[in-house]
Structure formats: structure tokens, C-alpha cells
Amino acid sequence: MTDQDLAFVLSRKKEAMEKRGVQPVLERTMNLNGESLLCLGDTTALNSKGIFDLEPIAWICRSPGGLEIHMQATEPDLGQAWDIVSRIRKQS
């Protein structure tokens, strides 16, 4: 799968999320040692009654090479979560 193929698949997933009422759909792209990791985030699926610092965000991330990551974290923990994800390396 190419970066463009994955972007197309995730754009369709984003459209489906928006039709389900997810607003906004969060997006993030990371570079993992030369491979793109494209992510979509959903704050509505795990509603904690609007408490901002406890509001969990569910992320689904995919790369063209087949890596798929699902994670849930609150806003204060996301920095650490993204740091962990950024250290992922493909081994030969």
C-alpha cells in the first residue's frame, strides 16, 4: 500500500466518522524512520461527561507497511503516548 492509498482509505474512514456525528475528527501524521503513520482521533466515542483534562481520545493509526496502532489517552497523557509511538522502528 502506498501513502496515497492509505490516505484514501483513511479519508473514507474520516467521512464515515463524520456521518456518525464525530466532530471534530482529529488528524495527525508522523514520520517513523521514513514511513508515514497516519492517525485519526475521536473524542466522542469515549465521552467522560465533558471534563476536558479527563476526556479520552481514541486514536487509530496506520502505516503503508501494515503497522496499525489503537490507543486511548487523555489530553495530559497524549504527549507521552506520542513520544512512545515516535520511537517505533522497523527492524529487518
Higher pLDDT, 75 or 46: 75
Residue 62 phi/psi, 5-degree rounding, is -140, 150
Cis check for the bond before 24: say yes or no (omega within 30 of 0): yes
pLDDT digits (tens, 9 = 90+) for 12-41: 999 999 998 888 899 999 998 888 999 999
The confidence band for 49, taking pLDDT boundaries of 50, 70 and 90, is low
Output the pLDDT for position 52.
Answer: 55
Domain residue spans of the chain: 3-86
Torsion of CA 6, 12, 14, 18, to 10 degrees: 180
- Please give the Cα distance from 21 to 41 (Å, whole number): 13
Element (H, E) at 18: helix 3-19
Please give the span between the terminal C-alpha atoms of the chain, in angstroms, as a whole number.
Answer: 18
